[in-house]
């Protein structure tokens, strides 16, 4: 059946032409004894591969599976185990390849056999994506990139599609490339992105295990490795796409102008972050207080900013530049001790000469209170309205935060020591003088 499609778009005419060719090929296969024998060979190869796979899989699984043991080869063996799902289609491909030579010698034709081999490869790719790949990103690439490509290859149209994409040229500015280059760059870029992420994760874990390094140096090495990995990935991608890096000179100049004007803050924060990591003035795990009053523990340092976590669980994003250009108080730099004080008052009836030694001895019993750089020190602070004011200063390794209630514990010790010594902690009190005496009441 023929249709006149001369008035239709070219893509419709091409699709119709391919459909007609496919229909004629199918008819030729249906009416050809050679084609039927090749179909029979494909079915036989698939059934035989299934039988062999059912016998072979349990034996290979028992041989490869390391069980619960841990040794040098346990991880590679566990990695290989899921690939046993590919045995059946790959065996069918191999058996078909063996029979292909016989069929071609008898019938001087092997088109159906070639189609079957491509179909078995498609089934292997489908098993790979469905049963073996566990990473969500790789599974996504397999489902929407690998399987469509394998389907086109199985139909024998891969060369046609490749030629059409290669002939279609697009341009951006002074850069011109084909759609095939774009598709190749998309596939390669996706794989390089995943590989870069995986490499960065492994490198970060390896560097983080080295506790002999200063935390700031570890962070600097982690960031350096991250930028190096993705810079290499970018250069590889440009090479795969066939883009001359000199063609990006104009784009690089535009980026340079942007950094000089609109992106100068980002550049400043990036350089400040590098300075922080090199000097180690503030790093992950330090508790800091900024000039603006923000306080918290540094939980993450990024290229542009650091993240502080407060005691109430909030995250504060602080630009790296603030650590360089403003005053920063670091309460935990180099693991140094911190001094706190606990104020209290005693009654005016107290012999205040006994209080310092009593309180210092009581506070020194706390297991976290240090003798160095200074032991607990009780000082007289003044004579208040309600009592005599004292404060005890003490040093601890750590912060008086939610998990560490140093001041609260010390106040408990002070209370118990004063109670045991019979020293009164005064209530608020006032002396009221009524001039002229109290008014007389008539009875």
Look up the CATH number of the domain holding residue 289.
2.30.30.60
Among the listed residues 36, 47, 37, 41, the one whose alpha carbon sits nearest the alpha carbon of residue 88: 47
Q: Are residues 218 and 300 in the same domain?
A: no
Q: Are residues 375 and 390 in the same domain?
A: yes
Instruction: Answer whether residue 165 is part of any domain.
Output: no
Q: What torsion, rounded to 10 degrees, do the Cα atoms 240, 242, 243, 246 define?
A: 110
Q: Are residues 128 and 54 in the same domain?
A: yes
Q: Are residues 230 and 199 in the same domain?
A: yes
Q: Which of 260, 275, 308 is the last residue of a domain?
A: 260
Spatial separation of the C-alpha atoms in residues 320 and 305, rounded to whole Å: 5
Element (H, E) at 410: helix 406-420
Q: Are residues 149 and 62 in the same domain?
A: yes
Please report where in the chains the tokens 């104009």 appear, as a residue.
250
Among the listed residues 115, 112, 140, 151, the one whose alpha carbon sits nearest the alpha carbon of residue 33: 112
Q: Which pLDDT does position 5 carry in this prediction? A: 57
Length of the chain measured in residues? 443
- C-alpha distances out from residue 77 to 64, 133, 355, Å: 6, 16, 71
Spatial separation of the C-alpha atoms in residues 412 and 418, rounded to whole Å: 10
Among the listed residues 272, 266, 264, 399, the one whose alpha carbon sits nearest the alpha carbon of residue 326: 272
Q: Which pLDDT does position 366 carry in this prediction? A: 92
Q: Which pLDDT does position 313 carry in this prediction? A: 78
Q: Which pLDDT does position 336 carry in this prediction? A: 66
Instruction: Answer whether residue 166 is part of any domain.
Output: no
Spatial separation of the C-alpha atoms in residues 430 and 420, rounded to whole Å: 27
328: left (phi over 0), alpha (psi -120 to 50) or beta: beta
Instruction: Answer whether residue 122 is part of any domain.
Output: yes
Q: Are residues 56 and 129 in the same domain?
A: yes
Q: Are residues 294 and 348 in the same domain?
A: no
Instruction: Answer whether residue 443 is part of any domain.
Output: no
Spatial separation of the C-alpha atoms in residues 291 and 65, rounded to whole Å: 59
Spatial separation of the C-alpha atoms in residues 353 and 314, rounded to whole Å: 46
List pLDDT tens digits, range 409-439.
999 999 999 999 999 988 877 777 777 766 7
Q: Which of 125, 156, 187 is the last residue of a domain?
A: 156
Containing domain of residue 371, as a range? 337-420
Spatial separation of the C-alpha atoms in residues 325 and 291, rounded to whole Å: 10
Q: Is residue 318 a contact partner of residue 289, using CB atoms and an 8 Å limit?
A: no
Omega before 102 cis (within 30°)? Answer: no
Tokens in use for 332? 């935990």
Q: Are residues 362 and 319 in the same domain?
A: no
Instruction: Answer whether residue 170 is part of any domain.
Output: no
Domain count for the chain: 4
Q: Are residues 411 and 328 in the same domain?
A: no
Alpha-carbon dihedral sign for residues 322, 325, 330, 334: positive
DSSP, res 439: P
Q: Is residue 313 a contact partner of residue 319, using CB atoms and an 8 Å limit?
A: no
Q: What's the whole-number average pLDDT of the chain?
A: 78
77 burial type by CB count under 10 A (0-12 exposed, 13-18 middle, 19+ buried): middle
Spatial separation of the C-alpha atoms in residues 61 and 80, rounded to whole Å: 10
Q: Is residue 116 a contact partner of residue 42, using CB atoms and an 8 Å limit?
A: yes
The HSE-up count of residue 378 (CA atoms within 13 Å, CB side) is: 22
Q: Which of 296, 316, 332 is the last residue of a domain?
A: 332
Q: Which pLDDT does position 397 carry in this prediction? A: 84
Q: Is residue 388 a contact partner of residue 350, using CB atoms and an 8 Å limit?
A: yes
Instruction: Answer whether residue 110 is part of any domain.
Output: yes
Q: Are residues 53 and 124 in the same domain?
A: yes
Spatial separation of the C-alpha atoms in residues 32 and 110, rounded to whole Å: 12
Q: Which pLDDT does position 247 carry in this prediction? A: 56
Spatial separation of the C-alpha atoms in residues 426 and 442, rounded to whole Å: 38
The Cβ of residue 65 has, within 10 Å, a number of other Cβ atoms equal to: 14
Instruction: Answer whether residue 163 is part of any domain.
Output: no
Among the listed residues 232, 220, 224, the one whose alpha carbon sits nearest the alpha carbon of residue 196: 232
Q: Is residue 17 a contact partner of residue 11, using CB atoms and an 8 Å limit?
A: no
Residue ranges of the chain with pLDDT lower than 50? Answer: 334
Instruction: Answer whether residue 236 is part of any domain.
Output: yes
List pLDDT tens digits, range 321-374.
888 888 888 877 545 688 889 999 999 989 999 999 999 999 999 998 998 888
Q: Are residues 75 and 145 in the same domain?
A: yes
Q: Are residues 249 and 353 in the same domain?
A: no
Q: Is residue 296 a contact partner of residue 309, using CB atoms and an 8 Å limit?
A: yes
Q: What angle, rounded to 10 degrees, do the helices at 264-279 and 249-260 form?
A: 80
DSSP, res 285: T
- C-alpha distances out from residue 301 to 90, 146, 316, 350, Å: 48, 37, 12, 53
Q: Which residues pair with 297 in a beta bridge?
A: 287, 309
């Amino acid at each position: 059946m023929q249709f006149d499609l001369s008035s239709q778009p070219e893509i419709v005419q091409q699709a119709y032409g391919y459909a007609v060719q496919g229909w004629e090929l199918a008819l030729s296969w249906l009416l050809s004894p050679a084609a039927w024998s090749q179909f029979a060979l494909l079915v036989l190869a698939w059934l035989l591969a299934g039988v062999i796979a059912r016998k072979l899989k349990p034996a290979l699984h028992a041989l490869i599976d390391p069980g619960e043991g841990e040794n040098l080869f346990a991880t590679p063996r566990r990695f290989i185990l899921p690939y046993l799902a590919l045995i059946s289609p790959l065996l069918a491909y191999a058996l078909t390849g063996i029979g292909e030579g016989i069929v071609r010698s008898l019938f001087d034709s092997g088109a159906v056999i070639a189609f079957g081999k491509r179909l078995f490869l498609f089934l292997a790719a489908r098993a790979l994506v469905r049963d073996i790949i566990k990473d969500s990103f790789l599974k996504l690439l397999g489902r929407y990139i690998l399987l469509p490509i394998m389907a086109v290859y199985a139909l024998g149209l891969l060369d046609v599609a490749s030629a059409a994409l290669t002939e279609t040229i697009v341009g951006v500015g002074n850069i011109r490339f084909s759609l095939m280059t774009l598709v190749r760059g998309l596939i390669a870029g996706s794989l390089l992105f995943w590989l870069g992420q995986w490499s960065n994760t492994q490198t970060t874990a390896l560097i983080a295990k080295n506790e002999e390094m200063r935390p700031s140096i570890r962070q600097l090495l982690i960031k350096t490795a991250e930028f190096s990995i993705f810079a290499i990935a970018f250069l590889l991608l440009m090479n795969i796409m066939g883009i001359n890096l000199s063609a990006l000179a104009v784009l690089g100049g535009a980026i340079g102008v942007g950094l000089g004007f609109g992106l100068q803050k980002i550049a400043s924060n990036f350089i400040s972050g590098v300075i922080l990591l090199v000097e180690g003035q503030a790093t992950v795990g330090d508790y800091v207080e900024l000039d603006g009053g923000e306080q918290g523990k540094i939980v993450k340092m990024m290229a542009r900013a650091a993240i502080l976590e407060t005691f109430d669980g909030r995250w504060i994003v602080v630009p790296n530049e603030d650590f360089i250009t403003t005053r920063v108080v670091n309460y935990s730099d180099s693991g140094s001790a911190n001094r706190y004080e606990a104020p209290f008052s005693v009654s005016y009836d107290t012999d205040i000469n006994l209080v310092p030694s009593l309180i210092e001895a009581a506070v020194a019993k706390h297991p976290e209170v240090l003798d160095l750089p200074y032991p607990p020190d009780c000082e007289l602070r003044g004579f208040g309205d309600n009592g005599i004011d004292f404060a005890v200063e003490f040093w601890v390794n750590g912060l008086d935060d939610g998990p560490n209630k140093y001041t609260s514990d010390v106040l408990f010790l002070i209370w118990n020591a004063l109670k045991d010594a019979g020293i009164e902690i005064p209530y608020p009190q006032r002396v009221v003088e009524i001039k002229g005496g109290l008014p007389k009441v008539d009875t």
